[in-house]
Structure formats: C-alpha cells, structure tokens
Amino acid sequence: MEEKKGCFGILDNVFPISDNGLREVPAECFQCPDRISCLKTAVSTEEGIKMREGVLDRAAKDGVIGRLQRWSRKKELHRLLKQQEKKKKYGKNNLPKL
C-alpha cells in the first residue's frame, strides 16, 4: 500500500480559503495522483461537512422545491456529522448497534 502525503485529506491544506475568500485547490495539488481521493476525503471530514453546510446556508432560497432540496441536503449533512462524532467517540469498528 502506498504512503499518503502528510497533507492528504486535510481540508485547510488541500482546499484552503484564498485571498478573495473562496476555497480553491492549490496548483501543486493538480500534479498529485491522489488529488481526487484526497479532496473527497477532505470534504468527508467533520470540517468538510461543516463547510458544505455553510455553502447550503449561503445558497439562494427561492421556491418550495429549493427549500425542500436544501432541507434534505442539510439533514443528510447533519446525519454525516453525527456519524463522524460516533467514529471519534467509539472508534471506527466499535460503533454501537442501533
């Protein structure tokens, strides 16, 4: 198995906030063969889920369909956050049975 770089999956390293206030992938990440899995891992972390929730909060709030879609996505993100918290508390393989 290949060794991952130290920056692998760390949101603030692989998707930092630029000077203009937006998140951007650094140029050096484009050369990395692990960039896709790295970015997916970064946005799956607790910080990444919170970042995605913030994006939803800033999204346009037009119409009933838009509200339902945002509500559904926020509910999914909240569920993912709870899973992350359980993994931290119980470890990856020791999650309590529901």
Residue 85: per-residue pLDDT: 87
Q: Give backbone dihedrals phi and psi of 28, rounded to 5 degrees, phi first.
A: -65, -20
pLDDT at 68 over 70: yes
Residue 28: per-residue pLDDT: 92
pLDDT in tens, 21-55: 889 999 999 999 999 999 999 999 999 999 998 88
Residue 62: per-residue pLDDT: 72
Mean pLDDT value of segment 50-68: 82
Q: What ranges do the domains of the chain cover?
A: 1-43, 45-88
Side-chain-side CA neighbours of 7 within 13 Å: the count stands at 14
pLDDT at 75 over 60: yes
Is residue 23 helix, strand or coil?
strand
